[in-house]
Amino acid sequence: MNFKPSGINHITIRVNRIDRSEEFYGKVLGFELVRKMGQSMAVYKIGKEDTLVIVEAETSYDPNSRDFRVDHIGFYLDSAEQVDEMASYLRNQEVTILSGPANRKKGRFVFASDPDGNLIEFFHEQ
């Protein structure tokens, strides 16, 4: 397969305290808040089309927890068909598919992992 994503759409990071991170990314760095998703997720616009997603870690209630990390990287694909083609290609290359391909409200996605277990999303949004 000739994989050529049209860009990195987003990077998702886990944080221990969403309120503290919203203060940092929104007020200190001045990133534009695009949307809140519940109490534990915020999406910030970076540049023209890219986004940074912050998600509060599941263990944030534990003061000893340090569950912060890059959660995943999302690559744009040009069509829903390309998402399916990518999933087939990855399977043929013996890459672990973790979720999908499947539809979501505004498109289609597949999640896979790289050799070190980093989560990568390939998706198309309508």
Q: What is the CATH number of the domain that holds 91?
A: 3.10.180.10
Q: What is the pLDDT of residues 30-86, one digit of tens each?
A: 889 999 988 899 999 887 778 889 998 776 556 666 666 777 888 888 899 999 999
Please tell me whether residues 3 and 49 are part of one structural domain: yes
Cα distance between residue 3 and residue 110, in whole Å: 14
Q: What is the pLDDT of residues 32-42, one digit of tens each?
A: 999 998 889 99
The predicted model scores a pTM of: 0.68
C-alpha distances in angstroms, 24 versus 6, 15, 21, 32, 109? 29, 11, 5, 12, 30
Q: Residues 63, 84: one domain?
A: no
Quick one: 15 and 66 in the same domain? yes
My answer on whether 71 and 113 are in the same domain is no
Same domain, 57 and 96: no
Q: Are residues 54 and 1 in the same domain?
A: yes
Whether residues 66 and 83 fall in one domain: no
Number of separate domains in the chain: 2
What's the domain range around 126? Answer: 79-126
